[in-house]
Amino acid sequence: MKKDPSEIITVTFDFSDVATSCINPVVSIAVEAGRDDAGAAAMLSGSPQTDGTSILQRVIGGISGNTYKLRCQIDDADGERWVAADLLDVVES
């Protein structure tokens, strides 16, 4: 996925294939490629929101030219833990 540094987007992690519920969602972000970004964690705006078996996370900012790895971890009602990840390219329009 891709965003401009000025955009505010909502990233969705879909766990419907593996879980019947999503408990204790934790979303993290880190630089995968590009320049160092000590403020990468501040790109996560607010807490992750649960919508059925999906987790929604608002994302802001970022350094143009960087690729960030977003990672979401959830627990389900059966006591299993699942992780989904995706890459976010920040590119100035």
Residues 36-73 pLDDT 10s: 999 999 999 999 999 999 999 999 999 999 999 999 99
With 0.85 as the threshold, say if the pTM is over it.
Answer: yes
CA distance 66 to 76: 32
What pLDDT score was predicted for residue 55? Answer: 98
Q: Where are the domains of the chain?
A: 2-90
Half-sphere exposure of 12 (CA within 13 A, CB side): 7
Beta bridge partners of 38: none
Query: What's 16's DSSP letter?
Result: T
- 77 — pLDDT class (breaks 50, 70, 90): very high
CA neighbor of 70 nearest in space, from 60, 85, 58, 81: 85
What pLDDT score was predicted for residue 75? Answer: 98
CA 70 from chain centre, in angstroms, equals 4
What three-state secondary structure class fits 40?
helix
**pLDDT per position as a tens digit, 5-44:** 999 999 999 999 999 999 999 999 999 999 999 999 999 9
Let me know: does 24 contact 75? Beta carbons within 8 Å.
yes
The CATH code for residues 2-90 is: 2.60.40
The pair of three-digit structure tokens given for residue 41, joined into one six-digit string: 């964690």
